[in-house]
Amino acid sequence: MGRRLPARLISDLRRLLEGQHASARSEPLVCCDACLALHFRAMLAEATEAAEALAGEPGFLRKVSKCEMCKRTVNITSLALRR
């Protein structure tokens, strides 16, 4: 019943967000926990934990915004753009 931090999920998530950012214009990909869970075939709780962990690192953020995949306005995780 202990909490396990999904380390591989965090690195996969980082690659997803950074990869999209590098290849798609100047706008970072924003993605909610539910869509991340679907994308990585992970449990929602795991996706949320990985997203929160990644958002705690430099260059990433977490905020309420519109998810690019499901278009709902929820907590999303994204690369933080410095302009």
Residues contributing to the site for Zn ion (CB under 5 A): 32, 35, 67, 69-70
| Minimum distance of Zn ion from residue 33's CB (angstroms) | 8
The answer to whether the CB of 67 falls within 8 A of the CB of 32 is yes
| Minimum distance of Zn ion from residue 2's CB (angstroms) | 28
Cβ nearer to Zn ion, comparing 18 with 75: 75
Residue among 34, 40, 45, 22 nearest 69 (CA): 34
CB-facing half-sphere around the CA of 11: CA atoms within 13 A: 2
Cβ nearer to Zn ion, comparing 2 with 19: 19
